[in-house]
Structure 1
Amino acid sequence: MAGDYNEIIIVLMIDIVSFFVAYFIFDKIRNSKSENARSVGEMTIRALLSFVIAFCTHAITYQVLKNNEVPNILENQYYIYTLEYIEEGNYEKGIVSFLDIPDTYQSDEKYSELRNNLGTSIVDYTFDNLKNEGGLDEKKKSIEDSIAQLDTINYDSYEKLNIELENINKQIEEENKRKEIEEEKERIENAKKNQLVLIDKMNPTIYRTGIIIKYGLYFEPSVINNSDKDIKDITFHILHYDREGYPDKNNNNSLALYSSEESIEDVNISRYSSKLIKYSTDEKLDSDIESMHLDKDENKIKQYQVDCQAIGCVKSVTFYDGSTWNNEYYKYWLDKYKDQRLI
């Protein structure tokens, strides 16, 4: 209002000054022609002309001041709409009306206050709304949408939202890892259950071999064939452990094998049956399974038989019809047990 009063005073002063200046000029002109002729009519004409000039000056001055006048943002309809929408909690429409406020108001302090009011309200609303959101993905989307809205109005004081978004992303990452672990466990369990061919147990047996008599400890696998086909060839893996379940890699015997992959041809395991694959002897030539321990001292081998244990897993088989089967569980089994303690 002070600005309006100042404008009125300025215009009035200019009007008065212009009137007297015009009157003085006309008076000078009149005096230059005849100093004695000063009728009432002439004075009236001079006054009217002075008034016309003053009026024109008034109009010009008013227009100049009007053009330079700073608009009042409080009277702008979009400013008013924005305030109303904030009160209603309708922030989407509030953003639209805020963006419709003319650029001429952007330097106004009230404009900045309105933006801060709108931005703070959106941040507070977002946090209140997070309490009602269901899952982490919904909360993440809610925050990201709010940040996008705040960026639209150039409001950048939303550090709390960024911190909350970071926390939610960490929770989502942890949840995804947990799901991956659970899914991997399920895949492993399904692969284990769905083995067509598997080793049921390992049978520790001592054999006497060689011209120079030696005694060897062999773990012979008992294989179960759950398929409807006859097995011709088989490949399996054996891991050996000591009594406490640690990998039996040495035991002061350079011939001791901890891990061995065996491939046996013509193993001949009928469909829906099981068979113990024995080490090759003069009486029965089933396979050439690697010995776990080999020694001249039979008692020492017998002690190894007590102290050692083994597990095995089928890697692949070839059926008599030429088809093959690769055990999906094998790679999980090897990753789980190799170079690990058997518990």
Structure 2
Amino acid sequence: MISTHTTEYKATALKDAEQLSTSTDYDKAISILNDALVILPNDSDVSAKKASYEKLNEEKKAVERKKKMEEFKNSQEVVAESAGIAIQSTEYKAQWPDMIQVIVRNTTEKTVKSMKVSMLGYDSNGYPVKIKRKYGSESFEFIRTAENINIISKGTFGKGNGWEVDESHGIKTVLAVVKEVDYYDGSKWTNPYYEYWLAENKEKPLH
């Protein structure tokens, strides 16, 4: 009797999970199979189905994440259009150290008062390096603020400006994104693309 009930329960669980999977509701399908594995802990059929749905679920979420990331990227109010190392002096770097320079564009109708920018550095082989300030600590993510920059609507900012780094920085490539912006009208914009950008790039080789 117990065996019959167990067989029926297993069949129902697999069927319900399969129906949920056809509508790509893998989270609920996996939940049903997790419950089944409490009663049937060594069942290879249930375990195999669960593993299959987990893989499909990961693929689904990766696609959703990529889509959301692109949406946020394309709707940024202030965009980091380029970033790199600006050389102030080839001989006297101790006095005039290299700078990280980021060119940004204000796509809004408002005027930018200040902004916070996140930067990541990479060596000549495309591997991440810690960025060290001229006087200060070092870290993979280099966050700096630009105050009173007055970027008008559709205007750009960054040429001739930058944040000084230690003379032995070893940086070949820089990636950057605007993290936060304060406008002159008192409003503030926090970039939703930032978290995706950081997870995609921080401490990972260039790709």
Q: Same fold (TM over 0.5)?
A: yes
Q: Is the 8 A contact 1:230 1:271 kept in 2?
A: yes
- Correspondence for 2:203: 339
- The separation in 2 between residues aligned to 1:260 and 1:254, in whole angstroms, is 13
Structure 2 residue matching 1:293: 3-state secondary structure: coil
Structure 1 residue 290 and structure 2 residue 163: aligned?
Answer: yes
Match of 1:182 in 2: 63
Q: Please, what is the CA RMSD of the aligned residues?
A: 4.0
Q: Which one has the largest radius of gyration? A: 1
Question: Displacement of 1:271 after TM fit?
Answer: 1.2
How many residue pairs get matched?
A: 180
Q: Identify the match of residue 183 of structure 2 among 307, 312, 319.
A: 319
The 3-state SS of whatever aligns with 2:129 is: coil
Does 1:170 pair with 2:34?
Answer: no
Deviation at 1:314, TM superposition (A): 0.4
Aligned partners of 2:72, 2:61: CA distance in 1, in Å?
Answer: 16
Q: Which runs of 5+ in 1 are unaligned?
A: 1-111, 145-158, 280-288, 296-300
> Quick one: distance in 2 between partners of 1:342 and 1:294?
23
Q: Report matched runs for 1:123-134 at 5 Å.
A: none
Contact 1:199 1:313 in 2 (8 A): yes
Code of the aligned partner of 1:267: I
Structure number having the greater strand percentage:
2
**Per the alignment, in what secondary structure is the counterpart of residue 169 of structure 1?**
helix
Amino acid at match of 1:262: R
1:203 and 1:222 in contact (8 A); partners too = no
Shift of 1:238: 1.4
Kindly tell me: are residues 229 and 167 of structure 1, through their superposed partners in 2, closer, same or farther at Cα, counting changes over 3 Å?
same
Q: 1:163 to 1:342 in 2, by over 3 A?
A: closer
Instruction: Please state if 1:278 is matched with 2:142.
Output: no
Residues 141-290 of structure 1: pairs in structure 2 closer than 5 A: 163-207=44-88, 214-249=95-130, 257=138, 259-279=141-161, 289-290=162-163
Partner of 1:330: 194
Q: Which structure dedicates a bigger proportion of its chain to helix?
A: 1
Residue identity (%): 23
Q: Contact 1:214–1:294 (CA<8 Å) still a contact in 2?
A: no
Please give the secondary structure, in 1, of the residue aligned with 2:85. Answer: strand
